[in-house]
A and B are shown apart, each in its own frame.
Chain A
């Protein structure tokens, strides 16, 4: 039926050809397969990834192996997604890190005690009604006002971008003031570039503002040498007295911004300690499609102090519930006093 006469010499070639053909036929074996996504596999994926990539182990003082020993026996093959989610979230809470989250397509579990367990120290309505008297300007995400030679600006979230021209508008209006209040309370962070643009308005020369420390390998203590970061002045800058208002909800990029500002001689931090979150978060997709957010770096001040636990204010002031009811904000009032 199939007759092809081959010489002896060609047999070797034919065999080799067949080998090559079979290799071409192996394409299915070269396809990448999804890993197991049962509860045990997902738990091990989460724990293992955090074990190798989480940057805060040297700071958090958590024995991650002990955490595994405690939680792993609770994982059962037949447990529901909801139970697995609750269990894995509880395990991540042991890190007490607001940058660590577990996200499904329905829920997100994030540690929030860094601000929840502390006084709020901010009431937006009171600021608008009592101190700005419902009369203020807006430039980009910032609301601001100038009155009695004092400027006030509120940047609610670094997730909302601000342009250089929007900043120029604000700082041109602040030109004739003797001092300004920069309010970043309840700013839970966002894009670093927005904090970078803002700090560039408060410095007159290139300045070392922080060190960033990146993981070098999978070990808990494997890091590159700290990388220095510098800010440079840009646009219309401000050199008079500044009061920076902070509370525990000032987190992540806001925490970095408070660090930058705390190094300037004309700046006083007033209010509560910032919430921390010094380090860049990143994401990882688990084998069942859930998304993990984790701290992938940590941040040091120019004097190499870790800022994961927040920046302390120069003047610690709390807003009591009575203050709030009376429409008062003692933190702003302290700022007015400091700027006189």
Chain B
């Protein structure tokens, strides 16, 4: 199986070169089958609080303003709390980033992203499983808010999209032993199934000056809220993390995340965010 996997990767150069696949392949090669002591610790009741700094590569196309993508890199921060009890894991995570994006012709916009997510995962298999790889599945509740201000545009206020979603999540956790004892690698994937999306109404970001419009902005936003299914609000979130435990209660993690979404309303918006994060976690 593994040989076949590597043969297949070799014949797909771009995938083989992908950082994700390389990292995982490396760990599979040097890992062993036995479960180490750290994995056993994973089964106990525990709290983990994490702080993360990340650098994000963002691209966005909001068809109401541009047919060209705006792209750029900027910093962000995340805070997470994990609670694990027996086979269940509860994960709360908040992530915020803000920065400037540009078209290739240097038109600018300032964008802020706020993501909140609660994920409830359940471990498949026995609690004290001896498997190398553990699998979890469950659901998640997500909230995202992206706000954009087109600085070179006349008359328009900040535009945004907000979405709350219910979706499915899966996670794989690989805990090697031997030379790589103390490391673990996890991959988490989630996808919303049903979402409520709020955007400004068609063209309603326009600034009419200071004259009182009696709450029209709120009204137009409410009128543009919709419940969307998976084909109308399509989102993929995947996070690959390499974790290193040290000094018993401490963990650092290097993670790579992709967050892509496509809102297929009259206000069509596509956004992709690649994040590279470094986090410190404390285990209680």
Residues of A within 8 A of B (CB): 2, 4-6, 9-11, 13-18, 20-25, 27-28, 30-35, 45, 49, 53, 55, 105, 191-193, 195-197, 206, 209-210, 212, 214-218, 222, 224, 227-232, 253, 280-287, 289, 291, 293, 296-297
| One of B44-52, B57-65, B113-121 contacting the partner | B57-65
The 7 closest A-B pairs by CB, nearest first: A192-B209, A24-B20, A289-B105, A25-B18, A285-B66, A32-B59, A227-B216
> Chain A residues near B60 (CB, 8 Å)?
32
- The answer to whether A214 touches B202, judged by C-beta atoms less than 8 angstroms apart, is yes
Check A4/B172 contact, CB under 8 A, given A24-B238, A24-B240: no
Check A281/B107 contact, CB under 8 A, given A24-B18, A216-B202: no
Q: Which of B96-122 contact A (CB under 8 A)?
A: 103-105, 107
- The answer to whether A27 touches B258, judged by C-beta atoms less than 8 angstroms apart, is yes
Checking B20, B203, B272 against A297 with a beta-carbon cut-off of 8 angstroms, the contacting residue is B203
> Chain A residues near B29 (CB, 8 Å)?
2
The reply on B243 being an interface residue by CB < 8 A is no
- The answer to whether B133 touches A30, judged by C-beta atoms less than 8 angstroms apart, is no
- Shortest C-beta distance, B256 to chain A (Å), equals 7
Residues of B within 8 A of A (CB): 1-3, 5-6, 14-15, 18, 20-21, 24, 28-29, 31, 33, 59-61, 64-69, 71, 103-105, 107, 131-133, 135, 150, 152-156, 170, 172, 174, 187, 189, 201-214, 216, 220, 223, 236, 238, 240, 256, 258, 260, 266, 270-272, 274
17 contacts between A and B (CB under 8 A): A6-B2, A20-B189, A22-B15, A27-B258, A30-B272, A31-B59, A32-B59, A32-B69, A53-B64, A192-B211, A210-B211, A283-B150, A283-B153, A284-B64, A286-B68, A287-B67, A297-B206
Q: Is the interface of B mostly helix, strand, loop or mixed?
A: mixed
- Shortest C-beta distance, A146 to chain B (Å), equals 28
- The answer to whether A25 touches B20, judged by C-beta atoms less than 8 angstroms apart, is yes
Checking A28, A210, A214, A284 against B65 with a beta-carbon cut-off of 8 angstroms, the contacting residue is A284
- Shortest C-beta distance, B176 to chain A (Å), equals 11
- Shortest C-beta distance, B273 to chain A (Å), equals 9
Checking B3, B155, B187 against A21 with a beta-carbon cut-off of 8 angstroms, the contacting residue is B187
With both beta carbons as reference points, the residue of chain B lying nearest to A229 in the complex is identified as: B211
> Chain A residues near B156 (CB, 8 Å)?
282-283
> Chain B residues near A195 (CB, 8 Å)?
209
Complexed CA–CA distance, A25 and B204 (Å): 38
- Shortest C-beta distance, B59 to chain A (Å), equals 4
> Chain B residues near A11 (CB, 8 Å)?
1
> Chain B residues near A291 (CB, 8 Å)?
107
Complexed CA–CA distance, A235 and B54 (Å): 49
- The answer to whether B274 touches A212, judged by C-beta atoms less than 8 angstroms apart, is no
Q: Which of B3, B132, B274 has the most CB of A within 10 A?
A: B132
> Chain A residues near B15 (CB, 8 Å)?
22, 25
